[in-house]
A and B are shown apart, each in its own frame.
Chain A
């Protein structure tokens, strides 16, 4: 059930302090936002760009950093026909300012301390809000059992690959399963197909465990994953989804 939270959203100016290229198309922007009010894992911000002639456009981006980190991290995928992302990934430089507002959202959030086992399912850059949850859990040394199922097109498209390997190696309660749907490198031991019932039966918690589920990705991916989980015996109320459409921008 939702909580009544007064949230006066105002546009704020942040300063980009660091840009890390995660994959050929994806970069993480670290942003210093003075007087940032803090956020929850899973929330997003709106980013607004204003052109010299006054035209404004905005898009939503999930927060990648955990609540425990002072600086905000946004991981953004560059979409060639997008209006905002080609600027954020490609033109923006450290020390540039960026206009944003947030944090936004109270539905697709996870707080450490929830006893239910977690199932996180990500398609492509849908990993970003789920990574904030994984980082939040690690930062507060929460040991809620987590299974992540992460679907990417190819090995070079896997965002946070090394960090996920490191976190999973150090924590027996975090399991990471990956599938590469388009191409796989030699020696790949993960899945090599789109999500299907057999994969869910192997990765998802048994329904008797009453897990909490977060799914984020393109609309068609999210709907397919949620449908498979209902077939797996999950109550739809356990499943929270965030769809970012076909493109985003």
Chain B
């Protein structure tokens, strides 16, 4: 296995970060990739946290789904790679 592969985590790893931004449990939300249309639970997508921030990629086509940077006193959130996020009311 390459080094890159072992740096890869999954959406579970940013469950806390997403909850601090959205105040919602997001790992079970279903995301549709804007590139290839594959639908995956956020807990299932690829996550890299070694960049200055978190980079979230589609496990099917590798497109960037989300980028989240937490700076002093603010967040920058790029969701442009996600076509749709689906959350089911309990």
Which of A's residues lie within 8 Å of B, judged by CB? 1-9, 44, 46, 60, 101-102, 104-108, 218-220, 223, 240-246
Contacts and interface: CB of A to CB of B under 8 A. Distances in A.
Contacts of B88: 1-4
Interface of B: 1, 3, 5-13, 15-16, 19-20, 23-25, 27-30, 41-44, 86-90
Contacts of B89: 3-4
A2 B29 contact: yes
Nearest to A129: B12
A246 B25 contact: no
A2 B28 contact: yes
Nearest to B20: A9
B6 A219 contact: yes
Contacts of B11: 107
Contacts of A244: 9, 13
A3 B27 contact: no
A243 B10 contact: yes
A44 B12 contact: yes
A91 to B, nearest CB: 23
B8 A243 contact: yes
Given A60-B16, A108-B43, A246-B3, 18 more contacts: A2-B86, A2-B88, A4-B88, A4-B90, A6-B24, A9-B16, A44-B15, A105-B15, A105-B25, A106-B43, A107-B11, A107-B27, A107-B43, A107-B44, A220-B6, A240-B44, A242-B10, A244-B13
Contact of A246 (B6, B16, B28): B6
